[in-house]
Structure 1
C-alpha cells in the first residue's frame, strides 16, 4: 500500500504549472457544487450552484416564516456579490504590475478587494449567527434552514477563495 501512496506523491513527475488553473477551477467548483452537473455549462456557473441549491431546497421545504425567515436570503446575496468583487480584481492589479490607470489605480483595486473580502467574511459570520442564534440557541424543532443558510455561505466563501488564490494569471497576458 505504501508503494501506491509514494507514486501519488511524485510531484516531479507532473508539470503542475500548466494545469494549475484547471485544477483550481475544478477544485473551486467541487467545493460549491456537489450535484446535478448537467445544469452548469461553464466554470463560472459552477461556483454558486451547491450553495444556492441548498438554500432553494430549504426555502421550498419550509415556506412559512415561522420555520424559515426569508430575510435570511440577504446573506447569500451579499456572499454572491462579494465573490464577484473578489474575482473581478486580478492579482496583478493589486500588486500594481498591470494596472496603473483608472480612478485610483492600484489603491482602488486594493480597496475594491478589501471591501469584497469584508463582505465575504461578514456574510459567513452572519450565517453562523443565523444558525446558532436563530435555530440552535432557541431550540427550534426545525434546524435545517439555519444549516442551509450556513452551508450556502460557506460553499460560496470557500469556492471564492479557491478560485481567487488557486489560479495563476500568467496565461491571461
Structure 2
C-alpha cells in the first residue's frame, strides 16, 4: 500500500504553459484570496456593527494574519535555503527564524478565529455570520499566503 500512487500522473493541460506564467498565476490567485478575506470581514463589520454582534476586538485576528502574511512573504525561498545568502541579520538562520515567527502568527490567528467562531457565536446560539466572517477572513489570508509563498516555487510546478 505504500507506493500505490507512484504511477499516478496528473492530467497535462497542453493549452496552458504554466512554466512561463506560474508567478503571475500564483500572485493573482493569492491576491484574489487576500482581497476576498478582507471583503468578507468589511461586509460583516458594516452590517453587524450597529447591533453590537461583531465585537471590534475580533478584528485583531485579521490584522495579525495580515502582518504574518507580509512576514512570510518578505523572506524568499533562496534565503531560507541559504542559496548565496549570508548577509543580513543572522544570515540563513535569521531568515528561518523570521519565517517561523510569521507562520506561528498565522497559525495563531487562524486558531484564534476558530475560537471566536465557536466561543462567541456557535455555543451561544446567536447569529453566526460575524464569526464565520472572522474565520473565513483568516482562512483566506492563510491560504493566500501559502499560495503566494509556495506557488511561485519552480519545484512544485515542474
* Per-residue Cα deviation, 1:93-133 (whole angstroms, up to 9, x for no partner): 00110310112000000000000000001101110110011
Change (3 A) 1:67 1:106: same
The counterpart of 1:165, out of the listed 131, 150, 156, is 150
Q: Please give the TM-score of this superposition, normalised by the length of structure 2.
A: 0.84
Which residue does the alignment assign to 2:59? Answer: 73
Shift of 1:26: 2.6
Q: 1:112-151 maps to which residues of 2 (within 5 A)?
A: 112-140=98-126, 142-151=127-136
Which residue does the alignment assign to 2:3? Answer: none
Q: Secondary structure of 1:156's match?
A: helix
Which residue does the alignment assign to 2:87? Answer: 101
Q: Please give the TM-score of this superposition, normalised by the length of structure 1.
A: 0.77
Give the whole-Å Cα distance in 1 for the aligned partners of 2:27 and 2:16. 18
4+ runs deviating over 6 angstroms: none
Q: Secondary structure of 2:83's match?
A: coil
| Count of aligned residue pairs for this structure pair | 145
Which residue does the alignment assign to 1:23? Answer: 25
Aligned-residue RMSD, C-alpha? 1.9
Uncovered stretches (5+) of structure 2, i.e. residues with no partner: 1-9
Give the whole-Å Cα distance in 1 for the aligned partners of 2:131 and 2:142. 17
Give the whole-Å Cα distance in 2 for the aligned partners of 1:65 and 1:71. 15
1:87 aligns with 2:78: no
Uncovered stretches (5+) of structure 1, i.e. residues with no partner: 1-7, 33-47
